[in-house]
Chains A and B, each alone.
Chain A
Amino acid sequence: MQGTIFAIKRYALHDGPHIRTTIFLKGCPLFCRWCHNPEGISPQPQLVWSADRCIGCSTCITACPHEALHLTNEQVRRDVDRCDGCGECVRLCPALAHEANGWQATVDEVVTEIKKDIPFFDQSGGGVTFSGGEPLMQPTFLLALLQEAGTLGIHRVVDTSGYAEREVISTVAEHTDLFLYDIKHMDNNKHRLYTGVDNRSILDNLRYLHNKGAKVQVRLPLIPGINDDHENIVQTGTFLRGLPEINGLDVLPYHPSAKAKYNKLHLNYPGEHIQVADQAYIQEIVHNLEQFDLSVRIGG
């Protein structure tokens, strides 16, 4: 069994309780304007090249079996028609300027990495988190990983947008100890505008998980100018008040640190105009949300 992942982070501090290892599964059906993991959107592995690392040695140019790389004006250009993604450039670049953004990994390979930090999970009560991308986009792979981790007694978190078939979410819930579940916007039109998808199944799935007794921690990425208006805050609060068993709400303030990643992917940064909120403003929003009997934290 194989899947596509694009990162494994150990000692991940903000992807669930205690010390965790986070596995980032590649591919996401959403395209949020503030996305801080744009390298996780495409389901396919991508080869990327970083100008700041390149030493201009031409190792990649000579090594490429498909003659797909060219050095012009100190930039390595990739001829996408010729490149078949074989990864020789990634394997040989001395400077790590070529990187594979995503790779195929077997369940065994991923589990071997997860197992490495069992001493820390045991001590702290942490475990593994599956994030992305959208982990539910690779349900069979995810399920196999969750089952393996479960067999080893490792605490499992799934960090999701909730945008998935009901059947997928229902099966995954059987093998998940905690969901980190994003609510991005309550207004369906705006949700479609800013994320590219409908929010109805997301909200339904959340209600479903709640009623089923799954442990869910809701997360609100707070994006100034997009979802921080009073109306959305009130609607979010009202909706969540209707789900009294959820394990609190984390407000995740927007920060623009992902911009460099977009450049590397040759993508325009869609969050260019988003402002960064100050602490007082964030506190005010938290206060407003607390009016809905919610236990609210900043950060996750």
Chain B
Amino acid sequence: MNQRIEQLRKESFEARPTISIERALLETAFYRENNGKYSQPVLRALFFKHLCENKTLYIGKHELLVGERGPAPKVVPTFPELTCHSADDLQVLNNRAMTNYDVSQQDITIYEQEVIPYWQGRSMRDRIFSNVPQQWKDAYECGLFTEFMEQRAPGHTALDGSIYHYGMLGLKERIADRIKRLDYQNDPEAADRFEQLTAMDIACDAVILFAHRHAQLAEKLAAKEQDTVRKQELLTIAQVCRRVPEYTPQTFHEAIQMYWFTHLGTITELNGWDAMSPGHLDQHLAPFYEKELAENTLTREQAKELLACLWIKINNQPAPPKVGVTAKESGTYNDFTQINLGGLLKNGSDGTNEVSYIALEVADELHLLQPQPSVHISSKTPDHFLKAASRVIRKGYGYPSIFNTDTVIMEQVRVGKSIEDAREGGTSGCIETGAFGKEAYILTGYLNVPKILEITLNNGRDPLTGKQVGLQTGDPRAFISYEALYDAFTQQLEHIVALKIEVNNYIERMYAKYSPAPFLSVVINDCIEKGKDYYDGGPRYNTNYIQCCGIGTITDSLSAIKTHIFEQKTFSWEQLLDALANNFADNEPLRLTLWNRTPFFGNDDDRADTIMQQIYNSLFTAIDGKPNTKGTEYHLNMLSTTCHVYFGKMLGATPNGRFAHQPESDGTSPSHGADRKGPTAVVKSLSKMDQSKSGGTLLNQRFLPSVLASEQDLDKLCGLVRSYFNLGGHHVQFNVVDTATLRKAQQTPDEYRNLLVRVAGYSDYFVDLDLDHQEEIIKRTEQELY
């Protein structure tokens, strides 16, 4: 890390996440003046341009890459058109202990006077909640599922290499050509397409303008700059900003700035989930790197410095502040930008290149919260690269996470994507599979699968709220067989999934109609050709995911019922249901019998693993292939992010011996402490899930640092990963930290501000997590040294 990077890193690390009301004020004024004058896409595009023309710019003292979403690093705007924070919300954000955001009292007052009166009742969130059925609200409020689109825009996407080949002018030409070909005689949607394409064209102009403003500012700063070296740097910045994103990039520096303006454009226009991701950045940058290296216009060190600047830029963008249930289930500053390294090229050959290794070095040296690198390992990936990644993993930042390219491709080909598009695809967010640059793969929300068992055991009633949230499938005491119980469970499951999809589809149309994203649509193929928005089926592929949580908890719970009620008859239904209702009060022997005397998922034990398969198949049947509003389908995804903690809070005691309100199992990992036979058994259990039928699974493993001490230990870790991938695994990630360190960090958080841990499909600062999440990580089974 050179001095510049060290300085920029320090500034980024130390900057306080702060809320800026600038965007909200500009937007409110713009809407008061213009709402109703234009079609919705054009209105959105003109507002985006208005922002690019008027927002405060920032060029930091040592920067080589420029552009911020807010007026300064770590300053984040609000998006009142989606969620209008109340004055109370802002006070809470300012005052709460964890993941707080600074907001000045003056700004809160202005917000109250200027912003809130206009957006109250007009924001997407207000409109959605005023229209959803009571039945849905009851199920939502008791924690049966979450809804991603209720307060942030759907996003969840990554780019392919197109932007580097076209530049905004090239894209504008494509838009103009498409407008020329509109067929008003035969296409009833031609007028809609015209509005959408016009909006896209305006959006291209907006980002060009934004870049030019940066060029002007850099020139102005250069004129005043005394230091000749810095003066030249500022002039180079100006030159780069005059070139990209308008034209195609010619240098490594321009390519990175090109990406950054595109990234900023998409996260300024709206606040899509998971920000934006560059996709296979190493593959996209390699041609620029190799060309410049050959021409002697760039050194490896310079390339590394520029890449580090991008890392810092991404770290400067904390997640937009959340409210309500979403704040509870996703309390993090991380906005989930993921960078894929390695993988395969479009033609099927190994995609690893020198930039992949440079990126690993940058991630290692900076070890920032964002972005989070992932390595993509195919059967063609050299061991050398996996080993290099494992050396970073050993440091204990929780990244890079490791993905199986071959499974990620298979998942995509299964749902009809071309093999080339699948290879150019990868994972974004935490573990979600998508065709980069060509797909809207929208996460619609988490599904609390153990909770569905809980309502089944209560004849459709939620014990927490007392409301009838499910079907009346009968008193469980009347179930004379495991099959009868399971049948009731699948009826409840189908019912809840249908309820969720009904409202998803409704919200999806609202986004298509009222909140189009013209700039995002420009950079995702084939929105231009279709003349359709990203939210309206414009992309080549359109997928809706429902993320199923708690497979470990539900498998173990059903296994406990099967074993102890039906097979061994250890307990009666009466005894079990009473114990669950009383949270095992005064009945530790019963609880421990369930906990210790039941075959559990994660031990390579077919008695439990076949139950997991049964549930997985039921989830697949309930979700996969259900139609969305874009003429395409829902698929299942096996991800919990941090939602297993929130879902656990909403869940009473479960038949696996888990106490009420404790976290559920995370991702597709076994329940904490249920896996007792080491990591190979965990991997074997996981491999019994037909993962290529999902849009991603997530396996967390925690290792003691001593297990990864030597080079041979790393070889064994790589062997474990390769074996899992041979068996069809999608993803695995490692936390390499001991319990003592985590406990010390709880006691003296200030000394551990740098301690990154793997939370879900991402890492977070341990001391920034709330106590529940801290405890949850400590409880994850520690794979010890034998």
Interface pair B604/A116, CB less than 8 Å apart: yes
From residue A89, how far is it (CB to closest CB) to chain B in Å? 13
B680 surroundings in chain A (CB, below 8 A): 10-11, 19, 21, 116-117, 120
Q: B783: which A residues are within 8 A, CB to CB?
A: 11
Let me know if B723 and A120 touch, CB within 8 A: yes
**What residues on B are CB-neighbors of A124 within 8 Å?**
715-716, 719-720, 722-723
- Chain B residue at minimum C-beta to C-beta distance from A95: B592
State A22–B596 Cα separation when bound (angstroms). Answer: 23
- Which residues on the A side are within 8 Å of B604 (C-beta)? 116
Partner pick for A120 among B588, B713, B720, B786, CB 8 A cutoff: B720
Contact with A along B393-417 (1 / 0, CB 8 A): 0000000000000000000000000
B713 to chain A, nearest CB (A): 6
Closest CB in chain A relative to B244 CB, distance in Å: 44
User: Complex: how many Å from CA A59 to CA B588?
Assistant: 12
Across the interface, A94 reaches (CB within 8 A) one of B593, B679, B683, B716, namely B593
Contact of A13 among B591, B677, B785 (CB under 8 A): B785
Q: Which residue of B lies closest to A7 (CB)?
A: B786
Contacts of B588 in A (CB 8 A): 55, 57, 94
Inside 8 A of A116's CB, which chain B residues have their CB? 604, 680-681, 684
Instruction: Count chain A CB atoms within 10 A of each CB in B589, B591, B596, B710 and give the residue with the most.
Output: B589
Contact (Cβ within 8 A) A13 B596: no
CB distance from A280 to the nearest CB of B (A): 18
Bound CA–CA A217/B677 (angstroms): 27
- Which chain A residues numbered 92 to 140 have a C-beta less than 8 Å away from chain B? 94-96, 116-117, 119-120, 122-126
Q: Is the CB of A10 within 8 A of B677?
A: yes
CB under 8 Å from chain B, chain A span 200-226:
none
Q: Are A11 and B589 in contact (CB under 8 A)?
A: no
Q: Does A18 contact B (CB under 8 A)?
A: yes
Residue B481 is within 8 A (CB to CB) of chain A in the complex: no
Is the Cβ of A12 less than 8 Å from the Cβ of B719? no
Q: Name the residue of chain A whose CB is nearest to the CB of B590.
A: A94
- Complex CA–CA separation, A15 to B786 (angstroms): 9
Q: Using Cβ atoms and an 8 Å threshold, which residues of chain A touch B785?
A: 13-14
Among A21, A94, A123, point to the contact of B596 (Cβ < 8 A). Answer: A94
Take A55-B588, A116-B684 as given contacts and tell me if A11 and B786 are in contact as well, using a CB distance cutoff of 8 Å: yes
Minimum distance in angstroms from B653 CB to a CB of chain A? 16
Q: How far is the CA of A19 from the CA of B786 in the complex (A)?
A: 12
Give the contacts of B654-692 with A (CB-CB under 8 A): 677-681, 683-684
Q: Is the interface of A mostly helix, strand, loop or mixed?
A: loop
Contact of B726 among A11, A18, A96, A119 (CB under 8 A): A119
A150 on interface, CB distance cutoff 8 Å: no
Query: Is there contact, CB below 8 Å, between A123 and B723?
Result: yes
**Complex contacts, A57 vs chain B, CB 8 Å:** 588-589
> How far, in Å, is A131 (CB) from chain B's closest CB?
11
A120 to B717: give the CA distance in the assembly, Å: 11
Q: Which of B707-728 contact A (CB under 8 A)?
A: 707, 710, 713, 715-716, 719-720, 722-723, 726-727
A119's closest neighbor in chain B, by CB? B723
Tell whether B597 is near chain A: CB-to-CB under 8 Å. Answer: yes
Across the interface, do B596 and A11 meet the contact criterion of CB distance under 8 Å? no
Q: A9 interface residue, CB < 8 Å from B?
A: yes
**B710: A residues at CB distance < 8 A:** 299
| Count class of interface residues, chain A | 20 to 34
Q: How far is the CA of A95 from the CA of B783 in the complex (A)?
A: 21
Q: Identify which of residues 344-379 in chain B touch chain A, using a CB-to-CB cut-off of 8 Å.
A: none
> B723 and A13: CB pair below 8 A?
no
Q: Is the interface of B mostly helix, strand, loop or mixed?
A: helix
Cβ-defined contact, B715 with A11, below 8 A: no
Interface residues of B in 261-283 (CB under 8 A from A): none
**Interface set, chain A 1-53, CB cutoff 8 A to B:** 9-15, 18-19, 21-22
Question: Which residues of the partner chain A approach B684 to less than 8 Å between Cβ atoms?
Answer: 116-117, 119
**CA of A117 to CA of B707 in the docked complex: distance in angstroms?**
19
Report B752-786 CB contacts with A as 1/0, cut-off 8 Å: 00000000000000000000000000000001011
Q: Is the CB of A19 within 8 A of B592?
A: no
8 Å CB contact of A126 from B681, B707, B719 = B719
Contact status B786-A94, CB under 8 Å:
no
Residue contact A119 to B786, C-beta cutoff 8 Å = no
Of A18, A124, A125, which is in contact with the most chain B CB atoms at under 10 Å from its CB?
A: A124
Shortest Cβ distance from A21 into B: residue: B680
B560 to chain A, nearest CB (A): 13
What are the residues of chain B within 8 A of A94 when measuring CB–CB?
Answer: 588-593, 596-597
Q: How far is the CB of B782 from chain A (nearest CB, A)?
A: 13
Q: Which residues of B contact A10 (CB under 8 A)?
A: 677-678, 680-681
Q: How far is the CA of A82 from the CA of B137 in the complex (A)?
A: 63
Q: Say yes or no: B719 contacts A14, CB within 8 Å.
A: no
Bound CA span A54–B505, Å:
53
Contact status A11-B679, CB under 8 Å: yes
Contacts A57-B588, A94-B590: A9 and B786 contacting too (C-beta < 8 A)?
yes
Collect the chain B residues with CB atoms within 8 Å of residue A126's CB.
Answer: 716, 719
- Report whether A19 and B726 are in contact in the complex, using a CB–CB cutoff of 8 Å: no
Whether A13 and B786, one on each chain, are in contact in the complex, defined by CB atoms closer than 8 angstroms, is yes
Contact B707 A95 (CB under 8 A): no
A19 touches which one: B589, B591, B716 (CB < 8 A)? B716
Tell me the complex Cα distance, A57–B592, Å: 11
Verify B727–A119 contact, CB threshold 8 A.
yes
Is B597's CB under 8 angstroms from A11's CB? Answer: no
> In whole angstroms, what is the CA distance A55 to B596 when docked?
13
CA–CA, A258 and B30, complex, Å? 72
Task: Quote the shortest CB–CB distance from A71 to chain B (angstroms).
Answer: 14
Q: Is the pair B722, A123 in contact by a Cβ cutoff of 8 Å?
A: yes
CA of A94 to CA of B716, assembled, Å: 35
Closest to A257 in B: B785
Give the chain A neighbours of B597 by CB distance below 8 A. 94
Q: A11-B680, A55-B588, A119-B726 are in contact. Are A18 and B593 (CB under 8 A)?
A: no
What is the minimal beta-carbon distance from A132 to any residue of chain B, in angstroms? 15
Contacts of B590 in A (CB 8 A): 94
B679 to chain A, nearest CB (A): 5
Closest approach, in angstroms, between the C-beta of B130 and any C-beta of chain A?
A: 51
Residues from chain A with Cβ under 8 Å of B589 in the complex: 55, 57, 59, 94-95
Question: 1/0 per position for B568-600, CB-CB distance to A under 8 A?
Answer: 000000000000000000001111110011000
B593 CB contacts on chain A under 8 angstroms: 94
Cα of A96 to Cα of B591 in the assembled complex, Å = 12
Contacts A10-B680, A94-B597, A96-B596 given: A22-B786 contact, CB under 8 Å? yes
Q: Do the beta carbons of B592 and A11 come within 8 Å of each other?
A: no
| Shortest Cβ distance from residue B502 to the other chain A in the assembled complex, whole angstroms | 43
Docked complex Cα distance between A119 and B596 (Å): 28
B328 to chain A, nearest CB (A): 34
How far, in whole Å, are A18 and B723 apart by their CA atoms in the complex? 13
The answer for the CA separation of A9 and B683 in the assembled complex, in Å, is 15
Quick one: which of A43-76 are within 8 Å of B by CB?
Answer: 55, 57, 59
Q: Which residues of A contact B722 (CB under 8 A)?
A: 123-124
**Distance of A21 Cα from B715 Cα, bound (Å):** 16
What is the distance, in angstroms, from A207's C-beta to the closest C-beta of chain B?
A: 29
Contact A13 B707 (CB under 8 A): yes
* CA of A55 to CA of B726, assembled, Å: 43
Determine whether the beta carbon of B726 is less than 8 Å from that of A123: yes
Task: Please measure, in the bound complex, the distance between the C-alpha atom of A13 and the C-alpha atom of B679, giving whole angstroms.
Answer: 11
Given contacts A18-B719, A55-B588, A120-B680, 17 further A-B contacts (CB under 8 A): A9-B678, A13-B707, A13-B713, A15-B786, A55-B589, A59-B589, A94-B589, A94-B591, A95-B589, A95-B592, A96-B592, A116-B680, A116-B681, A116-B684, A117-B684, A119-B723, A124-B720
9 sampled A-B residue pairs with Cβ under 8 A: A9-B786, A13-B713, A18-B719, A19-B680, A55-B588, A57-B588, A94-B588, A116-B680, A123-B719
For the complex of A and B, the 8 pairs showing the least CB-CB separation, nearest first, are A124-B719, A94-B592, A11-B678, A94-B593, A57-B589, A123-B723, A94-B589, A120-B723
A-side residues, CB < 8 A to B, are 9-15, 18-19, 21-22, 55, 57, 59, 94-96, 116-117, 119-120, 122-126, 299
